[in-house]
Structure 1
């Protein structure tokens, strides 16, 4: 799921199901796991208010001082 979002940008749950060919339950589970681990951002999909757009949170790499 992470790789699909990484290459596909922001997608709806229906788009993710289509892209991965996974059942909707597995897609929801993966989205919840990514959201719990703070890798995922969920936004309103204004074209269809019943859906949400999912995308990855872009993080800057942490710099470690030596």
Structure 2
């Protein structure tokens, strides 16, 4: 889950980037093509949104082993140690 400061940064993003973030939050790790299908945004818009989210370090890019030509995107699940106990417990699981 994103920290409070990351959520404030996300609030400053364009609506398309917020939508991509929410799609990844609900669906989990997806390829860019899958994000395009789920969000119904253009590929170029999704690419720009992912770049913005990566700049904020709230989205991680990884190799998609089923097709090495694609990347897998997911929300960065690294936890802040100052998070409340409920979030800290979720990170421990």
Q: Tell me the equivalent position of 2:28.
A: 9
Q: Which moved more, 1:51-60 or 1:23-32?
A: 51-60
The size of the alignment, in residue pairs, is: 64
Structure number with the bigger relative contact order (C-alpha 8 A, sep ≥ 6) is: 1
Quick check: which one's strand share is greater?
1
Counterpart of 2:66 (choices 41, 47, 51) is 47
Quick check: which one's helix share is greater?
2
1:41 CA displacement: 0.5
1:58 CA displacement: 1.2
Q: Secondary structure at the match of 1:38?
A: coil
Whole-angstrom distance in 2 between the partners of 1:59 and 1:51: 23
Q: Does 1:34 align with 2:53?
A: yes
Whole-angstrom distance in 1 between the partners of 2:81 and 2:22: 21
Q: Secondary structure at the match of 1:34?
A: helix
Query: Normalising by the residue count of structure 1, what TM-score does the alignment of the two structures yield?
Result: 0.89
Which runs of no fewer than 5 residues in structure 1 stay unpaired?
none
Whole-angstrom distance in 2 between the partners of 1:52 and 1:61: 26
